[in-house]
Homo-oligomer: A and B are copies of this chain.
Amino acid sequence: MNFKIKKDVLLTNLNYVSKAVSSKNVIPILSGIKLVLNKDGLHLEASDDNIIIKTFIDKDDIIEINEAGSIVVPGKYILDIIRKLPNETINIETDGLKILITTPSSEYTLNGMDSSEFPDYLLELNKKPIIFNQKVLIDIINQTSFAASLQESRPILTGINFKIKDNTLEVVATDSYRLSRKIINIDTAIDDNIDIVIPKVSLMELLKILDSEGNIELHIFNNKIVFKFDHILFQSRLLNGTFPNISTLIPEDYTLEVTSDLNELYNIIDRTSLLSDSDKNIIQMEIINNELITTCDTLQVGKVEERIIVEKNNNNNLKISFNARFMMDALKSFNSKKIQILLTNETKQFIIKDATDESLLQLIVPVRTY
């Protein structure tokens, strides 16, 4: 292998695949990035056995291709070296299992590994992928993923459920104490219904390399999903198991609808939680007349009472307790100025939604405090 390339081009693509470089050295070869150079361009690939990322630099974006070849370079070092090199043009060549990175004033010789030892990941594609804008996927992940579970005790809840039926995509995450649901329409007509669970950790890595422009293709298989965008292929395994059926969890009736300014509500909950136990973060919320009052009383520290003016759909009053952190996470997922809270009673899960947009719903299970 022997080629000359502009620093920025190489760095951008190393950055993409580095998100899949394994930090745990269970399989040594997976600590590397596989480079394959041929007359068409340079293929880069990395995997932590959970996700696989492949990217491609077209020959037109490479200054000189002198000799085809392939090698696995140590992921941790190559990225730092290329990032810190000041020169615009970088020479890369191999000598057996050594990789030489040179500029007029710098010379690096890194120990590489045999590319034939790198697992042979074949990334299949569908004929009819689901396509939408990258920005839409960024929003979906940001607005739902925080509600997924961090506990491995119920592995299926560490994933995010993507369900497609007809032209509707429903995305749900829940840790069983709260739930986020986003519903969007998609243009692609699909033949079969889809119901998959993508690990949250995979989507978090994907989020780091998504751009807000351009489309993304979703190629869904039985046990894996491939995202294709720009020159990038990103594959994640899927979680096995059945995601809970949430249709029964979302209350259809409620006794009180409260409309509040989003920021005002966020801020009083943030301040009220200052006095709460930092583990459980429990605060009380009371809707009384035209006021929403949040309170927290902690024996050792003291107590707080914050109030804002809200609108209601009837004269009902109500008092409820919940985890302030959950409420703040939920509120942060909305872009609107006003939100609605749909409440039933002090034990029933309640809903938060945008007053003007039905696509996003957040649900929180209250805490009993008596």
Contacts and interface: CB of A to CB of B under 8 A. Distances in A.
A84 B306 CA distance: 12
A267 B306 contact: no
B84 A303 contact: no
Nearest to A84: B271
A271 B301 contact: no
A67 to B, nearest CB: 20
Given A85-B271, A274-B77, A274-B81, A106 B304 contact: yes
Contacts of A275: 77, 108
A357 interface: no
A80 B109 CA distance: 52
B106 A306 contact: yes
A301 B74 contact: yes
B306 A105 contact: yes
Nearest to A308: B105
A85 to B, nearest CB: 7
A289 interface: no
B308 A110 contact: no
A286 B304 CA distance: 65
Contacts of A43: none
A305 B110 CA distance: 12
A108 B274 CA distance: 11
A1 to B, nearest CB: 16
Given A81-B271, A84-B270, A109 B302 contact: yes
Interface string A277-320: 00000000000000000000000111111111000000000000
A288 to B, nearest CB: 14
A107 interface: yes
B305 A107 contact: yes
Contacts of A85: 271
Interface in A75-105: 77, 80-81, 84-86, 98-99, 105
A271 B79 CA distance: 12
A240 interface: no
A23 interface: no
4 A-B pairs with least C-beta separation: A110-B302, A107-B305, A108-B304, A84-B271
